[in-house]
Structure 1
């Protein structure tokens, strides 16, 4: 909603004034307020109190006395020194929709007197503001619950014939099924077993690829030494093998013929 008009002065008019053309533009939950100027016509030593610009919805046009209504938007603009003014005032404010009904909108300039804000000047806009009632949809918990009862029905094939009832399995069939499951489990377990490291063509065992169990099977190599060898590999030379704790020169010379890297 747009509305712009000249200021029609209160009687008697305050020396704090909204001058020139004043207007507003309401867009959803925002309102833009435009005022040509806001002036303090008091003596130049007279600093105003804190001033506020407020847009009100009233049941009757403002006449300069006590009023009842709904504050739609507002902001403080600070103080103005006497014989000074603020030109080209533009304010973008949050807008509060009034209750449903027809309202008279009034733009007020108000001053803080130390205890409350008092209206110093006002513009009554000629075009009424009509607020429509918007219903609020309240959903009960039961609104989202669908209760449907079903009768038991027999399943039918696509041809419409009744499906044959399942017969209990015979003992022989159960035994065959169990044997098949056991065989499947054995096959899966066998596949999961780690494959032994392939031996070299000359029958030697590769220390870099053999399992700990295979290394421990070498005569003279303990389980602990086999574990250390697995942890220390890969080996590039036999000198590196000799550095492993527990691997002495005599033992290495003894097993050198059956290992490779």
Structure 2
């Protein structure tokens, strides 16, 4: 059936058409596209570069390019290729359309298309149950009730990550552009297996002004990139700008804790207390009065020191715990998801080593880091308790 292009770029199929023989076959993350092309204008057909595209709604699943077509004496050219497939995320069923596109040097134009009557549901790792997030001034929390791999038992997934994104519009699948709020590496999952109650605590984020749609994505490593396998849009939007993480120290400047412990701290400095009493007995000595006026200022320092226990929950160790995504593995930096600055902040890892770690991703075990230039056996033993997958 003719392809109806809503963008008004549809070209009447006077040059080439998709014949009666055509189809597609999926194999994991690859798809084979085949078609018999009828050249209506054989001369014009040989001047264009032709492609077969497979679409799932508005999502381009795969594209195979063939260059110029040279039909046989019956005006037929047979093409086929196996290419990578960008499978649509989610668990919905999709109607697939095979499109014949030609490029005359000004860009691809659609010449013909066939929509298949049978819908497809792709077997991909997915999120099940409830999901949630929490944005705070000092951390970001994400959680999913269940992550499951419905593939066959011997079909291990690629490395999976759980990511929270802020997008200008609700996510509908396919390509997207937005702000990555946080990412948690959760590992590879065997087929017919699942993880329950997955949660992560990530560093705090900031968002610019505007209205943002938040979406939790489950993405899978396919050898050269991560592809979105499932997603959950959150109904309520978030209005930016959000406070930056540096706004958190305002709690340390709160005056309330200073006034209360000040009298209790007075006995701790007996010499200062005596200096305060002497000017009270000798009011004639102006120098002593000045000393007495300064004495309370000195005593305010212990009062400030008493604030330290109040700020103790935000200690360096706990800040590191917040930066490490999983709640059950605090203090470690992920070699598969952390940036150069986070890795270089680890004791024993410099900038060049951090770039080497990122270039070798994904890492299956920490022992494999011995392949990175700058990491030896002894240094790896020291780094193991500071790093994670």
The bucket for the TM-score relative to the shorter chain is 0.3 to 0.5
Larger Rg: 1
Greater RCO (Cα-Cα under 8 Å, separation 6 or more): 1
Give me the TM-score of the superposition, normalised by structure 1.
0.46
